Amino acid sequence: MTHPIPQLPYALESLAPHMSRETLEFHYGKHLQTYVDNLNKLIIHTEYEDMPIEEIIRTAQGGIFNNAAQTWNHGFFFQSLTPFKQEIPARLAQALTENFGSPEAFVQTFSQTALTLFGSGWVWLAADGEGKLQIIPESNAGNPLRQGLKPILTLDVWEHAYYIDYRNRRADYIRAFWEIADWQKMENRLFG
């Protein structure tokens, strides 16, 4: 099975000025493409060759895990962004209030977790089987599917995600992320 590059649901230039076309050309067009190509090369003639990507993420180690998770994580991340600024839908707002005190408190805690994550990684919002929400920092290619959790949102805090637009200013990148976060997608994932 050849894994395709996850599709972008918007044009490369449509997230500017929060995320530039140049960032997407490199981040989506080069970094993600490399993970997809590596995954497809590494799984040939292994037990992972015909496995769905989520199952590879749950069971593989080393390079196969890293490239499978980076492929999936980036698709999920890019599909969590939208050119159209949104209000937080009511059901999602209520879930965030129940779990974190308020939607604003969720944004603040998630942002602080992203700011203080050391090195390269991802910050996740994920739900357990009862729908309880957790903010989970993961290093490198980490993904909460491995803990049996349902991913709701992720933010890429590898330097390659923000260095073109924001240089070393991760805090500015995190602030911009909330301008393009797709809250409707998050609600659909949580309740879907």
Q: Cβ 122 to Mn ion, closest distance in Å?
A: 8
> In what order do the strands lie in the sheet containing 133-139?
133-139, 121-127, 150-156
**Binding of residue 177 to Mn ion (CB under 5 A):** no
Give the one residue of 123, 133, 156, 176 binding Mn ion; rule: CB under 5 A.
Answer: 156
Position closest to Mn ion via CB: 156
Residue 124 or 158 having the CB closest to Mn ion:
158
Give the one residue of 28, 78, 106, 158 binding Mn ion; rule: CB under 5 A.
Answer: 158
User: Mask 55-94, x = binds Mn ion (CB under 5 A)?
Assistant: ----------------------------------------
Q: Cβ 41 to Mn ion, closest distance in Å?
A: 19
Q: Cβ 94 to Mn ion, closest distance in Å?
A: 31
Q: Cβ 124 to Mn ion, closest distance in Å?
A: 14
Residue 106 or 158 having the CB closest to Mn ion:
158
Residue 69 or 152 having the CB closest to Mn ion:
69
- For residues 68 and 32, what is the distance between their CA atoms, to the nearest angstrom? 11
CA distances from 30 to 88, 105, 182 (A): 32, 35, 23
User: Mask 116-155, x = binds Mn ion (CB under 5 A)?
Assistant: ----------------------------------------
Q: Cβ 142 to Mn ion, closest distance in Å?
A: 13
Positions that interact with Mn ion (CB under 5 A): 156, 158, 161
